[in-house]
Amino acid sequence: MKVLIALFCRPLFCRSLFCRSVFCRSVFCRSVFCRPVFCRPVFSLLMLATLWLGGLTLSASNAFADRRPNILWISVEDISSNLGCYGDPHAVTPNLDRLASEGVRFTRAFTPAGVCAVVRSGIITGLYPPAIGSQHMRSRIIPPSDVRAFPERLRAAGYFTTNRSKTDYQFDPTDSIWDLQGDGHNDWRDRPDPDQPFFSVINFTQCHESQIRHSDAQHRKVIQQIGAENQHDPAVVADTIPAFLPRTPATQKDWARYQDNITLVDQLAGEVLDRLQEDGLADNTLVVFWSDHGMGLPRGKRWIYDTGTLVPVIMRWPDRMGAGEVRSDLISVLDLPPTMLKVAGVPVPRNMHGRLIVDDQGDEASDEPPYLFFHRDRMDEVYELQRAARDRRWKYIRNFEPDKPYSQRLDYMDEMPTMQDWRRLHAAGELTGGQKNWFAETKPIEELYDTENDPWELTNLALRPQYAERLARMRQATERWQRQIADTGMIPESVLMEEMKPGGVTPKTDPPSIRRDGKQVSIQSSGDGVSIVYQVFDNGKWSDWKLYSRSFPSDGRVRCKATRLGYRDSDIVDLKI
């Protein structure tokens, strides 16, 4: 135990310039001495990452109030703002363009990281992933006990919650989060009471990175769906390929397919919006369209440059948010969870990191932050460690492992034809300028970009003396943010996971207790961070899992279990007649 405590009680930032410790994460020494900023065990570190979390709403109103809005999320994967409403000259996106004309388009909306599961872990909890240990791609974490998935709070308040169908939260979803999860349902149309407000998430995967490099036969099916007249010509769209990518036939083909896939997603989004209109629900539904990170191409997805984190976000709420409005303030997708809770009249937990984009009247609700923050950690088999800050114009990046090149090989990324051409041209010595930068043998310790004049972030200004003050200010802001969230990225992943799951074993939630007094059924569980779900046996079958919030009448069979994020569910406890 003393050895473990010694490991954890180490500096978050080593102040010694010449320190050779494996824990040394900073070269910005102001002293020859190593001064610890944090010294506490991992569990204390994790608890600092989240403040006190208010309890779930204990009961929902028996009568659903008409004034509570419905909420519909249309989420997509791996796209930047390559939509017509964002000014892309080749975009064929009439449905999303119309949505923007009827609502608010955000021009500075960002994800905190550049990869799907990591970002989704932040969105479902409302917390920066390094605050809960979910920053490494493809990990199975246990969030702190005071962290809950925000849809569960909506569900506890009487909302009917559905998800179709991606989760990918870096922990398994529990049955307490969604009334309906998966592909076998009809979203809001399956709610038992047509007056019940709903929160429905519909996620489209057709624009995922893997769908750019799919077979020609598969892509012909895409063209059949969108129509040959809407297919993008690789030669025509080549003028908008990011400057850092090589202009090869393979790159042009990938870029055209990326645009085709966005057109397909636009068509599918239009069908969802049409269903909402057909059901007479459009006027009382807040619609949010967003992408989980930027374009699924090299130096886009997985990276914290704007190509990996600047995403389209459109919100429509008739009579509450102005039609055709454009907002240029900084927002993060981490702002979505607290905003949805506020809109629904549900208390916002104080530990959430996002701000309110709008309030329950549709007005801008809280001040724009001076900076948004970003992180890049292990990506599949590739270890990396970057932190970043951005204001409306400037981007600061800190490379904690500058000895590693940008261009580390990553199997999944390297399947992309564009990536293969890029590596081939580098090996042949045929790259110049910004296309060559990515293959430098090492990275600079710091990067600073003027995104207004350098949107592809190719000219690093960090060493230019005229920017020294700005560099120092953004460096300090980044380190202050790391301290505020208790950045678990400073802890070796193996150590962090051993604290969460000693011996690699996922713990199991203790079973709840259930009793019946007359016809009233009560369920209790004493575990921290635990939610209870139950089923009733009716008409010869078990119901879907229901979220337990208070006792309920039943004279038939009832069974229940306890759940907690990151844990295995408890055994099922059956209350028989």
Partners of 394 in beta bridges: 450
Q: What is the DSSP secondary-structure string of 442-462?
A: S--SEEEEETTT-TT--S--T
Is the separation of the CB atoms in 309 and 86 below 8 Å?
Answer: no
Q: How far apart are the first and last CA of the chain?
A: 49
Partners of 386 in beta bridges: 376, 399
- Residue 322 to residues 66, 285, 289, 344: CA-CA distances in angstroms? 22, 14, 16, 19
Closest alpha carbon to 124 in 103, 153, 95: 153
Cis status, amide bond into 165, omega within 30 of 0: yes
| Helix (H) or strand (E) segment spanning residue 117 | helix 116-125
Phi and psi, residue 513, nearest 5°: -110, 145
Q: Tell me the CB-side half-sphere exposure of residue 531, using CA atoms within 13 A.
A: 32
Cis status, amide bond into 526, omega within 30 of 0: no
The SS3 assignment for 234 reads: helix
Provide the residue type at 29 as one letter. C
Partners of 396 in beta bridges: 389, 448
Alpha helices in 438-523 (DSSP H): 468-485, 493-500
Q: Calculate the CA 494 to chain-centre distance.
A: 23
Q: Is 85 a catalytic residue?
A: no
> What is the spatial distance between Cα 143 and Cα 146, in angstroms, rounded to a whole number?
8
Active-site position among 14, 116, 207, 560:
116
> What is the spatial distance between Cα 85 and Cα 70, in angstroms, rounded to a whole number?
25
> What is the spatial distance between Cα 51 and Cα 350, in angstroms, rounded to a whole number?
7
Number of other CB atoms surrounding residue 538 within 10 Å: 11
> What is the spatial distance between Cα 49 and Cα 417, in angstroms, rounded to a whole number?
40
Tokens encoding 68: 């509570």
Beta strands at 531-538 and 546-547: parallel, antiparallel or unpaired: antiparallel
> What is the spatial distance between Cα 8 and Cα 298, in angstroms, rounded to a whole number?
36
Q: Calculate the CA 353 to chain-centre distance.
A: 13
* Catalytic site positions: 116
